[in-house]
Chains A and B, each alone.
Chain A
Amino acid sequence: MEKNDKELSIELSLERLELILVKMESGEVSLEKSLVLFEEGMDLIRECQNDLKKAEQKIEHLIDDSRKIDGSEEPD
């Protein structure tokens, strides 16, 4: 599935964050690698927080054929 940059993927971000924390806890990463992971982790956290705070709900009607309604996108 193509990744839509605008589409919020909290699931993926949170999964990645979890993985980063586990790696850092394991004690098996070098200091340099730890700092890289740390920065990535902090970025993910900030991103998720921002995306959540400015999210607006989209409500769509499911239709049977491929006609578009009011210019809204057809569900993939």
Chain B
Amino acid sequence: MPEHRNYLSVSDLNSKIRHSLEKDLSSIWVKGELSNFHHHPSSGHMYFTLKDELNEIRCAMFRANNQFLKFNPLDGMSIRLFGDLTFYEQRGSIQIKVSIMEEDGVGDLHKAFEKMKAILEKEGLFDKKYKKVLPRYPKKIGIITSESGAAIKDIFNVLGRRAPQVKLILKSVKVQGHDSSNQIAKAIELFNSKNCADILIIGRGGGSIEDLWAFNEEVVARAIFKSLIPIISAVGHETDFSISDFVSDVRAPTPSAAAEIAMVSQDAILNNLKTQEKQIIDLMMLILERYWLRKDQLERRISISKPQARILNSLESLDKYYERLIYINKQNFSRYRNNLESLLKRLVGLGPDNVLERGFSIPTDSKGNIIKSPDQIKVGDTFNLKMAKGSLKGKKI
């Protein structure tokens, strides 16, 4: 049997462990996630596990310490705790004896969010009056997001379909983590200094409040506010609201929605153009109608001396206009031909001879000018009344 080994008893071992651990690891601050939380109703003691992605450790917070807790510990919460590492010799198990427990991370972030929101709102950064109207037909859209994220794919997808005629300019930035907010703010400033976009879309895909945090930071909010280029903010999912959403000119619930807001779809524009084409043709027809039906214009062109010739001239001009219209719009030919033919009929119907047939007379003075008002001749002057069959002479009294 080997004689030179030193054999420890289990109790000795555990005692050594205890002394070693408790010497080095008392009074420690630890951060982690709460799980398996139990609050014993009878003793008032709390027992739980504190963990991170890989490892965990048991904790106990006795009633004496936990009775002053200002919040309700829940599984999943991020917490900070202060305590002593204890080693139970009897069972050889380790536990943190917790004296102080605080909410960490999420809780603080929510508070910080509300605080920043209140400050900026009071300053007026969210006011409607500062919000710019988006240009309806941007030629260049600037996009500030991660080039490897989900947001950019969605945006390219939508804009590629809807508006291939719009130029897209991407400035890739980190959308979370250290320096992200600075990068976002700088990107906004860059687009502004180069003035190379009509609209900016800033955003990222979904995530936790920590992931989206950059878009809640003051430097980003101020950059958005200062921007002369209108900005659409598209951060996270529909239910995520970030400070950039409040400061921006428009908030989009998702990056795809931002792309849709940024640019009217090509189909919509093409439909509008179709409508306007119809409008302009209808207007042209209306103008033609109005022109030919203006009686006094007609009378100026048709003089008493050569009524037939004048009518013929007018009809010739109408033909010319008629032909030009057909040339411009062959497809609608038949419809407009009908319109014009009925116009022609009415035109002829208004010729002076037809007017006379209906019992009207045309008065002329001694020089042959048409009299339109009694004041045109003096008392004692003679005038001529041309009728359908012959004429009468008269004198003003």
Tell me the A residues contacting B by CB distance below 8 Å: 7-11, 14, 17, 20-21, 24-25, 27, 29, 31, 34-35, 38-39, 41-42, 45, 48-49, 51-53, 55-62, 64, 75-76
Contact = CB atoms under 8 A, between A and B. Distances in A.
- Consensus secondary structure, chain B interface: helix
Contact of B283 (A25, A45, A53): A25
Contact of B170 (A11, A25, A60): A60
Interface residues of B, number: 45
Nearest to A43: B328
B137 A10 contact: yes
A-B pairs with lowest CB-CB distance, top 3: A55-B165, A75-B196, A62-B171
A42 B329 contact: yes
B196 A35 contact: no
A58 B167 contact: yes
Contacts, number: 107
Contacts of B266: 52, 55
B279 A8 contact: no
Contacts of B337: none
B27 interface: no
Interface string B138-156: 0110100000000000001
19 contacts: A10-B269, A11-B135, A14-B137, A25-B283, A31-B321, A35-B321, A35-B324, A42-B277, A42-B329, A52-B269, A55-B165, A55-B266, A56-B164, A57-B159, A57-B168, A59-B169, A61-B169, A75-B169, A75-B197
Given A25-B283, A51-B165, A59 B156 contact: yes
Given A31-B321, A56-B164, 14 more contacts: A8-B139, A14-B272, A20-B280, A27-B290, A35-B324, A48-B273, A52-B165, A52-B266, A55-B165, A59-B170, A61-B172, A62-B171, A62-B187, A62-B190
